Amino acid sequence: MADIVSTNQFRNGMHIEHRGSVWRIVDFQHVKPGKGGAFVRTKLKNLESGSVVDDTFRAGEKFPRVHTEVKNVQFLYDDGTEAHFMDEESYEQFGLQRSTIEAELAYMLPSSTVQILQVNGKPSGLQLPSSVELAVAATEPGVRGDTVSNVTKPATLETGAVVQVPLFVNPGEKIKVDPREARYISRA
């Protein structure tokens, strides 16, 4: 029997069974209006179709929880349609559709280690570390004397991702980036 989880226990990344299929909670918000009962506003991603829907539930509503397994895998290469990975324990290789993990691919270099989420033995998504170190491939040079605080400029990283960085960051430098928020953290 699957665990039953209440809307009060929702967490980002949790998987639930809803409408006959498995959904991952992308985002949720508890809302307690001044009048009427509390409710939970959620953004759910269907694991089979990849569609993302907004749904609202009453506070305390219960759902079967789907357990996931996390494995360390190594990113090998991207062939344009699939991204290929290798299980670090069994050395078994497999591919994931590029369209399902496109956001994560923008922050992964070949041979980097990531965690893969498996639902019922099938890969369902990736978990990147909280920060990754990448080199800046291209950015506008900072203008000397332009010291207004919190001014940023776009920088293209070696993987092709674009993030906003402070003016003092130059091409070729390594920086730490939060891949979940596409945000500059610091120099590496």
CATH number for the domain including 48? 2.30.30.30
Q: What is the CATH number of the domain that holds 81?
A: 2.40.50.140
Residues 75 and 26 in one domain: no
Last residue of a domain, one of 127, 153, 177: 127
Last residue in a domain, options 127, 149, 170: 127
Q: Band of the pLDDT at 167, cuts 50, 70, 90?
A: confident
Residues spanned by the domain of 49:
4-66
- The closest alpha carbon to 71, from 106, 22, 123, belongs to 123
- Per residue in 72-82, pLDDT tens? 899 999 888 88
The β-bridge partners of 28 are 42
CA–CA–CA angle 95, 99, 105 (5° rounding) = 75
- The overall average pLDDT reported for the chain is 85
Distance, in Å, from the CA atom of 166 to the CA atom of 66, rounded to the nearest integer, reads: 42
Over residues 92-129, the pLDDT tens digits come to 898 888 887 888 888 888 888 888 888 777 777 787 88
pLDDT for 174 equals: 92
What residues are paired with 5 via a beta bridge?
A: 63
- State whether 52 and 8 are in the same domain: yes
pLDDT (0 to 100) of residue 1: 43
Q: Report in angstroms the alpha-carbon separations of 16 from 22, 61, 158.
A: 6, 12, 36
For 22, other C-beta atoms within 10 Å of its C-beta total 19
Q: What is the total count of domains within the chain?
A: 3
Last residue of a domain, one of 88, 103, 127: 127
Q: How far apart are CA 35 and CA 109, in angstroms?
A: 50
